[in-house]
Structure 1
């Protein structure tokens, strides 16, 4: 199995426009783009780069997720919790079924792994 390398992932321009977020809370809605790569022999797990423009939306990912923020800044407010400030260099671990509100303050780019 070959090793996947994304040179300078913080500035990689090979992302595909995915359109607006599914549950926007701001107008215009945040737009996302991504670069998805196959995790050969990793079952249903998926990974890639993801980027989002400024604005707010409801988190929709039901699976557990690990992410490392490459660029930008945001707030995440878990349902029933207090806002958490997140910025470039932070690594996060979201349990499955984590809900809440994202508020993207500066365009955000992350590396993510979705765990089934």
Structure 2
């Protein structure tokens, strides 16, 4: 199905085989790119490729919201993903199991957090929803967003990661960061 990395399947290849990642062959041809496999995931925002992803019935408060989604990327260990999501008119409660940062692309939504504070989601607005929180989404007509999802890493894993990175730097396997992005 895909290449094996760190004892598991290449989730990007699995997602492509299942049809969750939008094909970019047309874009590749436009830019003269080869069919050779690359290191990066490239996706195109294509509303027509989005598939039904119904909101749980017990979460719906009003109306009959129709949610649709397509996965754009997923890291090889399943700790992060990017989704293109849309929803029609309705009101529902949403429970965040992952940290999620969204960037709204189209439409409007009023989001009420657990304290009663209301946030307006509209094109160009970004919101962060921590894992373990809930909110009420009131979509007057339509909303479309990109969701950047990240599964929170347990504290012990952060410590182990810091130790491994320190050892790699000390042994010269990874050069010390010199600032900036890389």
TM tier, smaller: 0.7 to 0.9
Cα displacement (A) at 1:42? 5.1
Q: Please, which of 42, 49, 53 is the counterpart of residue 4 of structure 1?
A: 42
Q: What's the counterpart of residue 132 of structure 2?
A: 97
The aligned length equals: 111
TM-score by length of 2: 0.56
Cα RMSD after superposing both structures: 1.6
More strand by share: 1
Runs of 5+ consecutive residues of structure 2 not aligned to the other structure: 1-38, 152-182
Q: Which runs of 4+ in 1 moved over 4 A?
A: none
TM-score, structure 1 normalization: 0.85
Aligned to 2:62: 26
SS at match of 1:38: strand
Structure 1 gap segments, 5+ residues each: none
Contact 2:83 2:147 in 1 (8 A): yes
Q: Say if 2:43 and 2:72, in contact at 8 Å, map to a contact too.
A: no
- 1:17 to 2:52 alignment: yes
- Report the equivalent of 1:69: 104
C-alpha distance in structure 1 between counterparts of 2:70 and 2:107, whole Å:
17
Deviations along 1:56-97, whole A, 9 cap, x unmatched? 000122211011101010100001222111111111111121
Structure scoring higher RCO (CA < 8 A, sep ≥ 6) equals 1
Aligned-pair distance for 1:113?
Answer: 1.4
> Which has the higher Rg, Structure 1 or Structure 2?
2
Q: How far off its partner does 1:44 sit?
A: 2.5
